Structure 1
Amino acid sequence: MAATKLIAMHQNKGRSVMRCLKDRTDYAMNGEKTDEGKYISSYQCNPELVDLEFAQAKKEYLYKTWRQPKGDVIAYQIRQSFKPGEITPEEANKVGYEIGMRFTKGKHAFIVATHVDRAHIHNHIIFNSTNLECDRKFRDFWFSGIALQRLSDIICLEHGLSVIPKVKPSERQRRTKYPERVSIRDVIREDILKCLNQKPADFEELLKLLQAEGYEIKRGKHTAVCGKEQKRFIRFRSLGEDFTEENLKKVIAGEKEPPERNEKVPDRKEAKPEKRKFDLVVDIQEKMAQGKNGGYVQWAKKYNVKQFAESILFLQQRDIHDKETLDTLVDGSSAKYHELMKSIKDAEEKMAANKVIKTHIINYAKTRETYIAYRKSGYSKKFYEAHRDEITLHKAAKEAFSKLLDGKIPKVKDLNEEFARMFSEKKAAYSEYKKIKKEMRDYQIAKQNVESFYAAQQSWDIEEDMKKKRQQAR
């Protein structure tokens, strides 16, 4: 099941065409949303240079036709959202690519970026408004959205996916209750209550607790706070009567009851893990052998010292003070990483097999009547040639059923439930896999940097000893 939407992308006021294209394509190909670019495909363009190629096509169009329509559309975007648990990212990207090819008839370059950062997998298909020959533009015709949805339904059926059932407008359910919006002040109040639960000794300690939560404090006649997502400071007195400095001091002193929690404020999401502040050191001798000059060597020495310091700080923060502990953590994280990777691969193989069997069941049901007619015709060659594709699909399905272990053909509903279960398990394992992968890489880099540091230290000590011996010999 997939919901689609066609969006015309215009040039923003005060921005160049190139800038607008880059902003849109960069968002679509965001590494955090596409698993570091794993789920990106393209047609007749390079994803890394797509904004340049689209802009160049527009220049060629202007040169060939001398036409520049008012309110020109620079590109079109198709958003395609799938039902949670029904499809894998790989399959979703294939479906999106097929949508792009069939909707544009292969006449426009496009990229397909599959986002996996939400509960529902969805595609962003961006295609150039100028065709490949650079002599025509895509014409957004009447009811193009309906045509796109029908094409999406056809492709979903071909891939064994469900489609959105058609419902009369009078029978459609309307959402009458909308979720309440949570303001920045609501979040600040919630964090203040969280800090008050830690029983600070005075108002100054409360401010320190807020700083630990990521707030910036501005002291003065009216104390104010500023969070990470805020642009300006907000004074305590603007948070409400219960959150003024005077009343908060009374709450801390026990002279007043703390304010009640606002139930509409959701639980705060876990902060994303900080990006590693260090990387592998540079092999200066190797770079010098490649022809790097003295300026590069000076930079590399400073860079390596910084990496050594950050690596040592990383290990101290995790209470690692000896090589044995570090080796144990590296080996443990590596074993866990390979175990999770194997479980993800197994889940993907089972999901692929599930998909194949479901496709065969659907093909068998579609071609059953044709095959019965073929059998009644006495396996006529003329009938076979006229219905070759249907008969081939039917025979392939029967052969696949014969290879089932228990010989029993499962129901499509059971396969969908099994697929959803395996997909949720894979998603949970993949979340842990990314965390362990980062942890393993951090430990490995820190270990390698520390070993390089001590090896360099030993070579420096040996050089110093040699210099002292030469001086004594003189």
Structure 2
Amino acid sequence: MAATRLIAMHQNKGRSLQKCLKDRTDYAQNPEKTDSGELVSSYQCDPEFVEEQFASSKKEYLEITGRKIVGDIIAYQIRQSFKPGEITPEEANKIGYETAMRWTKGQHAFIVATHVDKAHIHNHIIYNSTTLSCDRKFRNFWFCGVALQRLSDLVCLENGLSVIEPVKPSQRVKRTEYPDRRSFREDIRDAIDACLEQNPKDMDELLRLLLEMGYESKRGKYVSVKGKGQKKFLRFRSLGAGYREHDLERIFAGETREKVATAEEETEPKLDMLLDIQKMIAKGKGPGYERWAKVHNIKQMAQTLLFLEEHNLRDYDELAAKAKSVSDRFAEITERQKSLEARLTEIADLKKHIINYSKTKQIYVAYRESGYSKKFYEAHREEITLHKAAKDAFSKIKGKIPTIKELNAEYAQVLAEKKKTYSEYRQARQEMKDYQTAKYNIDRFLQTEEQEKQAEKQKQNTKAR
């Protein structure tokens, strides 16, 4: 069974055609997703130079036809996803190649990259919008996606795979309960979270990943995106804390999501610290400020009392114990988040070393057979250095070195736990802030009350004299 989708790939504004093609094809041929490049096949093009060949055919198209290019479609992508456990990666690549050949009728160059980093094996088929003869372009006709799905189903049936059975409207299960409608901003935040899992290095790479997910982007004074069903672009700055442009830039620079979230100031805190009126007056504030500060403190004290009533806290010692408890819980969750983040970094580094070791193994063998020749070393300095670094990393591992598949599974598990812990982290952080603020306000109130009593007592003693 295979689910297919046809995606028109556009040229980004302000970027060259070849650069846009390279971004798309590099993602499809990612060695970590294609078993070190073993699951990449092609037709009438070289996978290593596919962007140059596609771009060259478009220049030749203009010279042959003299036509002006209408639109900005530079290539098409077919995503072909298979049912988990029904097919092997090699068979999936073969079926993707056959589907692409029948779909293009052999008139368009293409590459087929099979990804195995998800639970479901899937193909990324990218074919040139210009024909091999460079005198025509692919015509995206009405119901093109339906025709592609039927062709994919036919290829699957011929190879002994199941297909998605159509269901008549009368046989469909009717809903009795409808889920809450999600906002576009929630969808965009989820999409950004998914993109950040791939560790983009800058805003351009993040927008490229969003483009792969079907989002349009617009760069100006502010960065904004628009997804399917949206009528207007939505700015990143309207998505809330952790998703604004300056927050994302800090994440690109290497800061964790937790550190960025901790630095964010809450715009409407539930409780506010009571102002130290006397201290502010001593700095030169006038009587007008004194009146405002007293009213402010009364309002904040009222919110504090409401908070204590909502949480059934009527004893100061109980409040102090609760404030300490939530602070300890926040510290524990923070440490857990740090350990998970460290493990994710370790897994990513180990995967990189395994891939580098595989790529440079033959060169290092040749280097050893040359008697560790200095001339050979200088000619292959980078490969040999990467190989040695990988061996050093392996020497620190106790037991058997895990496979890429095992590391991908562990990475997904740790990442899921980190996401779950992050939601607990934000909740614990807000809870700690609320209780600590309530305790501070009560302490300040009791201190002020004690100061007033002492002042009244001193005044009475002065009168008695």
Calculate the TM-score normalised by the size of structure 2: 0.49
